[in-house]
Structure 1
């Protein structure tokens, strides 16, 4: 992998990880376009770790408050921290559901779901859901304190769909949260914070790939450069999405998903005439 390619991968990963347009699909598409096949999971792990560090930095105050409140409620029985405890508990429940189902479906997705037709179709489906959710905006009424265990369970199930390349992790959680009546501010916050344990957990499970020689000679510079670029553009992507959702609609992301989906199906899938 060249330095330019490493930079491009970093930019794309950083910008798409938290936008509802599937970072996994974009990384796979770039591999097809550049004719690159990653050996093992090292490169993907490095990109994901950079993204999760960006979320931790951006939401550090929220993370600290939730952890502190969670511990105080459990240990000191501080009822004033009940809201933080429940929010943290909901994050853990959603993560557990995603983790368990993700492990079950991971091998199947790895071998059978990385075709242009599947990825393009998943992008089109994401676009449809983004359009639909804008039509029921009047239902966005519940804040963080109004969330329930059922909400966490449903969002966790929805996040599992991201095992399909082309289905956005952030998009699936955001769309589902909005669909069940959670307001935009809470939905975005929950989606971003949920990314921390999910991405960190999946990266930790795959760290054995690095131990087994993932840092091949000649690739270290590209890995480090991609990590730095991904971290920087993840911060940009997070800020941009939050500002965008305050002023604009999800329609534009839907249009983007439609365009990329059709391009993948009709130009990158050799089975489609």
Structure 2
């Protein structure tokens, strides 16, 4: 629950130096996370990619037909959203827009928050509250065809809020999905798949600074190992989450987050 928050707290409370090769380390962790998501949901992702290209093709065709129709022709336009997976693609795009805007607008504030350990310590309590809510929400049955674009935008906003260290991205977005009445299994799937553009965006922002780093062979080996560990643990976590969502067991993670939050705040205030 919130790896970024845990890393900030570990660095502050245990005086662990994570600065050496830290940027490259972050990038490799992101790649590991992406690999886990692609492996876990490749069937859906490959279908979404195909439909995404079909949407682009139909959109360009419609633009061409628009100009043709200006000359007096009456060629019909292609219907863009004509299947469940096409609606799925559009929902993901809508969710990504507010996440991206929040990430860009508040980038400097989030970076500052990563330097203040008390912030993730308190935000872990926010995560605990979200997880309790997730357990309390009555299960819905919504899948792409029943989900509105407004709901997709709200879920995107929740993912943007989760850029704060200590606020679990998956916990926040799954809770938002459940509050919108999503089918439980689809809520988990949507939460992880919608993270792909956000993680890729974070990688792009970080990669441009990699050229300034001086890495040793040991740094590179450790980072590759970290990527593999992130991929394996991420895949197992996804599978575990898919099983967990069937019951109401998020409360156990909520208790863990609350305990870590209180203990961290006390430790930080004591110095």
Per-residue deviation, residues 190-220 of structure 1 (Å, max 9, x unmatched): 1010111111111112102222225345311
Task: State how far apart, in whole Å, the 1-side matches of 2:86 and 2:250 are.
Answer: 31
Tell me if structure 2 keeps the 8 A contact 1:136–1:179. yes
Deviation at 1:81, TM superposition (A): 5.0
Answer 1 or 2: higher relative contact order, Cα 8 Å, separation at least 6: 1
Task: State how far apart, in whole Å, the 2-side matches of 1:63 and 1:234 are.
Answer: 17
Matched positions, count: 250
Tell me if structure 2 keeps the 8 A contact 1:95–1:194. yes
- Given the two structures, how large is their TM-score scaled by the length of structure 1? 0.84
Task: State how far apart, in whole Å, the 2-side matches of 1:80 and 1:214 are.
Answer: 48
Deviation at 1:145, TM superposition (A): 1.9
Q: Which residue of 1 aligns with 2:101?
A: 100
Task: State how far apart, in whole Å, the 1-side matches of 2:251 and 2:116 are.
Answer: 26
Q: Which residue of 2 aligns with 1:132?
A: 133
Larger radius of gyration: 2
Per-residue deviation, residues 243-270 of structure 1 (Å, max 9, x unmatched): 1212342111111111111121112x1x
Query: RMSD of aligned C-alpha atoms?
Result: 2.1
SS of 1:246's equivalent in the other structure is coil
Task: State how far apart, in whole Å, the 2-side matches of 1:38 and 1:96 are.
Answer: 31
SS of 2:218's equivalent in the other structure is coil
Deviation at 1:28, TM superposition (A): 1.9
- Give runs of aligned pairs for residues 39-54 of structure 1, distance below 5 A: 39=20, 41-54=23-36
- Given the two structures, how large is their TM-score scaled by the length of structure 2? 0.85
Structure 2 gap segments, 5+ residues each: 59-77
SS of 1:231's equivalent in the other structure is helix
Q: Which residue of 2 aligns with 1:26?
A: 6
Deviation at 1:73, TM superposition (A): 4.5
